[in-house]
Structure 1
Amino acid sequence: MMRFTFPRVVLVLTGALLLTYAFAVAPTVGAEGRGGTVTAEAKAPRPRGSFPAPGKTFIGVMTDKGPHDFTPVDRFAAAARHRPQVMLFSEGWESATFDRTLFDRIRDRGMMPMLGWEPWDYRLDERARQQKLTAQEIDRVRSDQPRYRLSRIAGGEFDSYVRSWAEGIRSLGYPVAIRFAHEMNGYWYPWCELVNGNQPGDYVKAWRHVHDVFRAAGATNVTWVWSANVRYTDLTPAISTYYPGDDYVDWVGVTGYYGKYDFAPYLSFDEVFAKTIAEIRTVSTKPMVITETGASDHAGRKAEWIRQAFQALPRYPFVIGLIWFEVNKELDWRIVSSPAVSTAFADAVAAPRYQVTWSPDMTPRTKE
């Protein structure tokens, strides 16, 4: 048994102090520099990996209430027995100003916010629906908005507005996805090149301009999501004409639904998406997200479509996410529409591929 004499005690205490300095104090001093404080980089936690991890696919949700009311999200999660990792919500340029609380509410529920940022006055669309106009009439009303011509966006007329959002999103300090001016290859929004006095090439110019305003404002926490609509006919322009380039895009996306009209035949996930996905892959190999999808039950095959969709997804390993449109709008696209549909969705997303978590310190994956 060792006896502790006074000299030995002094020696032990000295050694303990040196070890404390080496492991606790010295690294901090090195980070501080001369008489300074520890830098933000030294204090900041290291990212907890990429989102989603390779081989995984996140499940997202979009509702008509967005972050203003999470009741539909809670019902979706209960029916799916699965918490979504991304929430898509829309804001229109005519009336929306940056509101941090909307993003923070989504973050606090463990979901990455995805802003559907739409340069238009959506109230025209709402009024047209209230007047019970036909689908074609609604498309004409909402797409005819000269104030929001693409050339005006590209020309800088909205720069102060765009900059206010860029500065706000930068201040969040965590990753946010922006799906700007989606479904540009259609004819139903004022930012589509086929309507509203827009000209070929205007969409790319507008996209790049908005992106550059964000970059100049230092909003580097944005994952830019370029999202086309599935092509139903080869008579429309090639999707490549709308693509701004990989330097301006982080995720590519595509929107498509089964059973939008009562006269539509049954179309599987592959029949809805495969051709357009293949076309997008010739333009970019960025990770892909199904940015909106849903199925109706007008033919009684909604649950079947969901099962087949999730069976098909692994054949597209570059698809890193799927966002379900949980809204009863033109038709009832929700998974809560029936117990059979809820069960089909819950069984599908229980697969290990969809067991994903998101946290604000994760880095969105921008490569396959």
Structure 2
Amino acid sequence: MTTRRGRQGARNARAGASSRPAIDGSDGRLGGAFLGTAPESLERAAAAEAWLSTRLDVQTVFEPWATAPAAIDDLFDRLGTLWDAGRTPLLTWEPYTRTPAETPDDLLDRLVRGGYDEYLSRWGRSLAAWLAGPDGEHDTDDDRGLLLRPMHEPNGDWYPWAPAAAGVPATTYVRAWRRIHRIVTDELPAGAAVSWVWAVNHVDVGDVRAEALFPGDDVVDWAGVDGFNWGTSQPWSEWHSPEEVFGPMLVRIAACTTRPLCVPEFGCGSERMDGSDPDAKSAWLAAAFELFGDRDVRLASYFGTDKETDWAVFGGEHGANTFRIGGTPYRTYPGFRRGYLAFVDRD
């Protein structure tokens, strides 16, 4: 096993699978971000890496279950572009059957009954071809790897794959996850570099506890917690520290698995009682990375795009300072940069 300090040169290398940290977290901590839709986000990711003075190990992608062959081909073309840029894709694979409005309310029941088996097999074959790399051969120097996160945040009530929203028992979700894993994995060669990421929301919303939704160590490679500090950006929200957001659920998840912990999606807004407070957000970000290190979180990927509020830490609406690349200014948060670098270099 290579030490983290010994890997710093490899972290800054821009090409080649051999220079990448292992996607199982066995040779160090992984850091990354969601920076928008690929391939449009590539320029922004490269600029963010210039600001960080290191690379993003992973780049998060969100993708629905678009079943048309052309849509599957387009997805893997985009993932290939990310891989060629030096980042391992972290694919958040959302079982929206094209759009949320078109997704049936009984999605989980259909999954368990085999209603999506043909799609999953076809998708698995496309994944196998992508993993083989340009030469089409497995177990060669151009092989690729993927972090795969299906059916995330199932302990909430806002996704159709969440039992609380679907009105089904937690066991239906577990059976659906295990079916997805089996069908996709059956299409892959032995030893394929796919790490399966199971991630819950940082609090249970509804009557289903996160622990009841764990599919099992045999079908999960990473166990994670998603969490956000919304500040006062919403009528129902208030400012919460990283410990308040993540601490209790990280303890709960660590107690139900032997798999490494991750935070595959997190964010902080800047809104407080008196308006935007970039310095408070910057301090929160540094504290979050410190907490992750203390709790032995091995992977953390930031939701870095302004959406419901100003989540972005690079090139967003607000910032605690400004970083320039050429003539382009980017609003930034030094707490994120400081925290990120300390996290990925921590032994």
* TM-score interval, smaller chain: 0.7 to 0.9
Larger-Rg structure = 1
SS at match of 2:170: coil
Find the counterpart in structure 2 of residue 59 from structure 1: 31
Find the counterpart in structure 1 of residue 301 from structure 2: 323
Find the counterpart in structure 2 of residue 211 from structure 1: 181
Q: Distance in 1 between the 2:127 and 2:271 partners?
A: 41
Matched, 1:116 2:92: yes
Find the counterpart in structure 1 of residue 196 from structure 2: 224
Q: Distance in 2 between the 1:46 and 1:94 partners?
A: 32
Find the counterpart in structure 2 of residue 342 from structure 1: 333
Q: Distance in 1 between the 2:21 and 2:334 partners?
A: 32
Matched, 1:72 2:44: yes
Find the counterpart in structure 2 of residue 185 from structure 1: 155
SS at match of 2:311: coil
Which one of 282, 303, 316 corresponds to residue 282 of structure 2? 303
After superposition, the Cα gap between the structure-2 partners of 1:148 and 1:104, relative to the gap in structure 1 and judged at 3 Å, is farther
Find the counterpart in structure 2 of residue 236 from structure 1: 207
Once the two structures are superposed, residues 124-181 of structure 1 have per-residue CA deviations (whole angstroms, 9 ceiling, x without a partner) of 4xxxxxxxxxxxxxxxxx6x94265101012111111111111111122222111001
Once the two structures are superposed, residues 267-294 of structure 1 have per-residue CA deviations (whole angstroms, 9 ceiling, x without a partner) of 1111100100111111102011101011
Find the counterpart in structure 2 of residue 129 from structure 1: none
Alpha-carbon offset, residue 224 of structure 1? 0.6
Which one of 146, 159, 175 corresponds to residue 117 of structure 2? 159
Q: What one-letter code is carried by the residue in structure 1 that aligns with 2:271?
A: H
Q: Distance in 1 between the 2:292 and 2:170 partners?
A: 33
Higher relative contact order (CA 8 A, sep 6+): 1
After superposition, the Cα gap between the structure-2 partners of 1:146 and 1:48, relative to the gap in structure 1 and judged at 3 Å, is closer
Find the counterpart in structure 2 of residue 246 from structure 1: 217
After superposition, the Cα gap between the structure-2 partners of 1:53 and 1:197, relative to the gap in structure 1 and judged at 3 Å, is closer
Alpha-carbon offset, residue 49 of structure 1? 7.3
Once the two structures are superposed, residues 61-83 of structure 1 have per-residue CA deviations (whole angstroms, 9 ceiling, x without a partner) of 11221334413323432333332
Q: When the two structures are superposed, what TM-score results if normalisation uses the length of structure 1?
A: 0.72
Once the two structures are superposed, residues 99-133 of structure 1 have per-residue CA deviations (whole angstroms, 9 ceiling, x without a partner) of 43212111111111121111114644xxxxxxxxx
Alpha-carbon offset, residue 237 of structure 1? 2.2
Give the alignment's Cα RMSD to 1 decimal. Answer: 2.6
Find the counterpart in structure 1 of residue 168 from structure 2: 198
SS at match of 1:346: helix
Q: What one-letter code is carried by the residue in structure 2 that aligns with 1:329?
A: K
Q: Distance in 2 between the 1:49 and 1:61 partners?
A: 16
Query: Is the contact between residue 240 and residue 283 of structure 1 (CA under 8 Å) also seen in structure 2?
Result: yes
Alpha-carbon offset, residue 182 of structure 1? 0.3
Q: What one-letter code is carried by the residue in structure 2 that aligns with 1:276?
A: M
Find the counterpart in structure 1 of residue 72 from structure 2: 97
Find the counterpart in structure 1 of residue 104 from structure 2: 146
Q: Distance in 1 between the 2:127 and 2:117 partners?
A: 15
Equivalent pairs counted in the alignment come to 291
Between stretches 53-62 and 203-212, larger displacement belongs to 53-62
Q: What one-letter code is carried by the residue in structure 2 that aligns with 1:344?
A: G
Q: What one-letter code is carried by the residue in structure 2 that aligns with 1:249?
A: V
SS at match of 1:66: coil
Find the counterpart in structure 2 of residue 16 from structure 1: none
Consecutive unaligned residues of structure 2, counting only runs of 5 or more, are 1-16, 133-143, 322-331
Q: What one-letter code is carried by the residue in structure 2 that aligns with 1:84?
A: L
Find the counterpart in structure 2 of residue 81 from structure 1: 53
Q: Distance in 2 between the 1:178 and 1:79 partners?
A: 27
Q: Distance in 2 between the 1:47 and 1:245 partners?
A: 31
Consecutive unaligned residues of structure 1, counting only runs of 5 or more, are 1-44, 125-141, 357-368
SS at match of 1:120: coil
Q: What one-letter code is carried by the residue in structure 2 that aligns with 1:161?
A: Y
